[in-house]
Structure 1
């Protein structure tokens, strides 16, 4: 296969609230792009991307899984992310290395809680998005309601580029508003055969009205489109696609599509929308980094001939290949046999892989724009940067959320205690949102995580892997006080002394900092006070 030009790369994530059909969409993508030969089904436990035993048993995504497919001359590096709030670290570290997101919404449930949280994560990272309203075949499906919620709940600017032909049991296809065609699928071909035809008379008025709304929205958002529209007196398909792309990449608009992944309807147009409206690495410009020596800021352009800069975003223990470190290349390339700077030291690259879920496909090099994995006990951790020897760089790290729940673990023997320490270390390497320690009052081992399900699955892995015998306490919520906003206060102090009456007026303003930032104190008077007075003030404020 010939190398794919960088402008044809799409590094995307698929994200959604749990049960919106996210993994079902991904399985259809793999099937229709020829990566898999049969359809994987979540409800049957045969989904390729949900390869963990726990995922197949529970029917949910627990860990982010990577794969690669090709569509219309584009290379699509895709990460399927979990939809459950307990596994938010998987979404966060995936979004750190992705250029675009396909957000899946249930046509019945609309914008649900975790979908909103995921949207905010993408918004914070300024990641362009497209929306796919799934399950249009379900009773109660309402496309316009979901579009309205995108606008009202998420403060997005949704632009439907499709509308459904019917809904629920009457859902029969999709109207492409840009091309003004009706798309239908042959069920017996599992969605492989897609038919495009002119919009029928009974649906034409609605389609033309919806298309005019796109034109009006683009005229407000995109000046080149407005100029061309005024000059030509019409909006061509090419002009609309170009304007939608510019608007999506500038975070001014979110193209909205629809379909039913379970019924194999709407996946090919969704893939085309990924290539049309989501960015390539070239579109996003240079990544920000710092020189390890000196700390000077450095801009890393997406250049295959530039210095190596790659970010490790996930580390896991693979049952076949051992420790795998997933990374995204932002500049240069990394080859088998190279020695690179990483984590404050140097490592030799022994084996490289392109991942397809849990299948490791051997490659000789990974170049700019690629998502790959290297094998070996390298000591790498999530957030480490791979760079050239003598030109060590540090890309923006990956933040892990603070655990919110804690559980006590009591090994049933001394041998189990030693084994627990070893296995917990490996668990923490894979999942930075877990933490462990010893409870001061009881001396018990404790494990902290993002919720009951998170802890349950983590403990299940500990006990099953080595037949570790543990007595597990009841999970408890960790209560952490923090400032919700700014506040002002003042107090006057008066005391009689032999020298006379001493008075003091203290005014305090408290302002919340970013999460995990250390407490900082500033005052015009601190430099004129003694150490005891300063410590007293700090203790009082804290």
Structure 2
């Protein structure tokens, strides 16, 4: 790869040197090409040395990082600059560029059309003798599964924050995901060239809203249109970014008027570290200053242990601050050996034990498939290697399916481009071609125990829509497309309603489903339209119910007999999306071999409720007793008895309850529209939880039922003259008001009666 880049670098340099006489303005480009070529020569030399030194060194010089943030914070622009300055690409393009090319990591045509990231994209770059495996993730909450599975396999992350918007709704979601997978990260406050940018306010929000122990490593030299560079409070140097593309980093002394501010930020940094690091704490109490080496090692320890979040500054669009960001990734983010990864192993008695993976290429292989893509040439499986070495042609065992597979082809990814490789060692992120599996499957070598890595958290869909084909002859295309999308995206669900004869798709939001409908049209030439969106309501109970049911059926020969007795108990609060089966039987009134059948009957019953035909959740079935017949009892009889007992018990409830999804909504608009927007949210049964304002704009945080948010983007645009925007994410399920609940139940009962006629 680097050899090809060297040839390209020489070609570009020769071309621009030839143009220099005619176009003197090319001097900055020529200067950059010399720097770029020198860096590639240096990287090539380093790579040759790495092969001689050995693999251990390479692992310690590897960083697996993700770029995550709220939508429109500049993640993809940051990724594009990283690729350019590291020499991975020779030209930069913008997310919504005038040249109609688009950013490198947004390789899908829909991403370039809409100017958003839909799928996470992986690449590998080299920076100062280090290898960086980089994953750029979407910012929109509808594609949150892409962030989930990326953070599941990464060792660290860069949290990008807008210098104007600060901590926004999706920032909270990303922060929760980082906490879930224990991901150390640093923060990059972007867009300091924009009007209203204020990094100090953003850091205060990080502390107050996210609970971060954060401190700035940089001080901006100017803000908004006067933003020209950054001052490093550790080295006490000012950095400016010259050249046509900000490729030349110029180091100078800190401007006189910023020295006091830099010293104040330095003391704030020491104070933040003193609270979590003993060495700095002792020096802080003695009023002594640590050396630069000691301070950097302290920041690294505290960051890796997730006790501290270093904050760096810049503006990716204006090509400022990206090189220092990369330096901080090398200095403060962990290598694969510094992160503990655990696998589970079930013994013969069914007991699960945890085993720590060793980041050692010589050990037996263990890897996790974290993403699936289906293309014209077959399935592409993204893989994180946790232990051992992946080799082309080796045999692996899928510990879920127990199937042996052979690795026909292994590749390194660069967005949608591939580079064939022979091996991938511990800590690497690569991909396999031609391997059938699911997202979340664990692969091990034949000599390894059948380990299973921790699965990826998959949120439940909150919205459904029916699809209607314009031409019935395209049904095979529709089936093929929906099958592929389900395989790639665990949050995208498809089911066929036998009664209405409709194909129902479910996902995380309107945009989520819009994208897949558009892909059906573009990629499968399938003329399909959406019907009215449906909310994923849930049926539940509010009080405990006792049940006792006997299933008895006598025909010629052996009959059917099963008796079950127990209670249905409501699960409230955060558990109202769960369904739990609890066997409390004592003795042998019900033989043990029939207990799994009773649980299956319970799971059958919760698939479709009796009030409005939606799934049942927030319920626990406690089986207390029952009775079996020596001849007539069977698994089928107990399964039917369990299902009927649940359904009949819920029909007898005096006051049934239905749950609806509640969304966290964040609205940003000019201040003059604040009153009107608040009134609209109140009419939509929303609850306002917080407000903030800056530079003529206000930010409204509220909780609104999903049903009320359909079509709100059009309403908001017309209300604010196109200046307002909003984002939302799923928060919880809550009880539907009785009046609306009765209307839904009446409509459902009417539909059932019409179908019976």
Structure 2 runs not aligned, ≥5 long: 1-46, 547-566, 587-621, 628-640, 657-757
Distance 1:229 1:389, change over 3 A: same
**Cα deviation, residue 509, structure 1:** 7.5
Mapping for residues 254-265 of structure 1, pairs under 5 Å: 254-265=309-320
Q: Deviations over 1:273-319 (max 9, x none)?
A: 11111111111124223258766423322121111110001110234
3-state DSSP of counterpart to 2:275: helix
Asked if residue 24 in structure 1 is aligned to residue 81 in structure 2, the reply is no
Q: 2:111 corresponds to which residue?
A: 55
Equivalent in 194, 198, 208 of residue 263 of structure 2: 208
Structure 1 pair 415–50 and aligned structure 2 pair: CA distance change class (3 A): same
User: CA offset at residue 74 of structure 1?
Assistant: 1.5
Shift, 1:430, TM fit: 1.0
Give the whole-Å Cα distance in 2 for the aligned partners of 1:417 and 1:507: 42
Query: Is the partner of 1:205 in helix, strand or coil?
Result: helix
Post-superposition CA distance 1:229-270 (Å, at most 9, x none): 678932211111111111111111100011000111000110
Quote the Cα distance in structure 1 between the aligned partners of 2:315 and 2:309.
19
State how far apart, in whole Å, the 1-side matches of 2:102 and 2:545 are: 66
Note the C-alpha offset of 1:140: 0.5
Deviation at 1:82, TM superposition (A): 0.2
**Is 1:439 aligned with 2:439?**
no
Superimposed CA distance per residue, residues 331-365 of structure 1 (whole angstroms, 9 cap, x where no aligned partner)? 00111111110132011111100000000111001
* Residues 225-374 of structure 1 mapped to structure 2, 5 A cutoff: 225-227=280-282, 233-291=288-346, 296-297=352-353, 298-319=355-376, 321-342=377-398, 343-374=401-432
> Does 1:382 pair with 2:443?
no
Query: In the TM superposition, what is the alpha-carbon distance from 1:6 to its structure 2 partner?
Result: 1.3
Instruction: Report whether the alignment pairs 1:134 with 2:186.
Output: no
Aligned counterparts, 1:418-457, within 5 A: 418-457=476-515
Q: Is the 8 A contact 1:286 1:302 kept in 2?
A: no
**Residue deviations 1:367-399, cap 9 Å, x none?**
1000000101x2211001110125322111123
Distance 1:528 1:133 in 2: 57
SS in 1 for 2:246: coil
Kindly tell me: are residues 538 and 329 of structure 1, through their superposed partners in 2, closer, same or farther at Cα, counting changes over 3 Å? farther
How do residues 126-205 of structure 1 correspond to structure 2 at under 5 angstroms? 126-186=182-242, 188-205=243-260
Contact 2:390 2:424 in 1 (8 A): yes
Q: Would you say the 8 A contact 1:318–1:324 is kept in 2?
A: yes
Deviates more, 1:83-92 or 1:116-125: 116-125
Match of 2:178 among 118, 122, 129: 122
Cross-structure match for 1:14: 67
Question: Post-superposition shift, 1:467?
Answer: 1.5
**1:73-119, Cα deviation, whole Å (9 max, x unpaired):** 22110000000111000000111101111000000111111111111
- 1:65 paired to 2:118: no
Q: Residues of 2 paired with 1:528 and 1:67: CA distance? A: 55
- The CA deviation at 1:226 is 3.0
The 1:308/1:295 distance shift into structure 2, 3 A limit, reads farther
Q: In the alignment, what sits opposite 1:80?
A: 136
1:480-495 paired onto structure 2 within 5 Å: 480=538
Cα displacement string for residues 108-146 of structure 1 (whole angstroms, at most 9, x for unaligned residues): 111111111111111121110100000001010011110
Q: CA deviation at 1:170?
A: 1.6
Deviation at 1:441, TM superposition (A): 3.1
Deviations 1:490-526 (A, max 9, x none): 899xxxxxxxxxxxxx997845576865324477997
1:15–1:82 Cα contact (<8 Å) kept: yes
- Return the alpha-carbon distance in structure 2 between the equivalents of residues 528 and 318 of structure 1: 51
> Of 402, 409, 412, which aligns to 2:467?
409
- What CA distance in whole angstroms lies between the structure 1 residues aligned with 2:624 and 2:374? 56
- 1:183, distance to aligned residue in structure 2 (A): 1.0
From 72, 95, 99, give the equivalent of 1:42: 95
The 3 A distance-change label for structure 1 pair 18 and 299 is same
Distance 1:67 1:228 in 2: 41
For the Cα contact (< 8 Å) 2:465–2:504, is it kept in 1? yes
Name which structure has the greater RCO, CA cutoff 8 Å, separation 6+.
1
C-alpha distance in structure 2 between counterparts of 1:286 and 1:110, whole Å: 32
Asked if structure 2 preserves the Cα contact closer than 8 Å seen for 1:108 and 1:138, the reply is yes
Q: How far is 1:470 from its partner?
A: 2.1
Residues 64 and 133 in structure 2, CA contact (< 8 A), matched pair in contact too: yes
1:456 to 1:292, Cα distance in 2 relative to 1, 3 A: farther
**Structure with the largest fraction of helix:** 2
Equivalent-residue separation in structure 2 for 1:237 and 1:300 (angstroms):
33
Once the 2 structures are TM-superposed, how far is the Cα of residue 437 of structure 1 from its aligned partner? 0.7
Q: Check whether the contact 1:292–1:392 (CA below 8 A) recurs between aligned residues.
A: no
Task: Calculate the TM-score normalised by the size of structure 1.
Answer: 0.90
Q: Contact between 1:287 and 1:301, CA under 8 Å: does it hold in 2? A: no
> Structure 2 length as normaliser, TM-score?
0.65
More off after superposition, 444-453 vs 412-421: 412-421
Q: Give the paired residue count.
A: 522
1:193 shift after superposition: 0.5
Q: Out of 9-18 and 516-525, give the one that drifted further.
A: 516-525
Q: Rg bigger for which structure?
A: 2
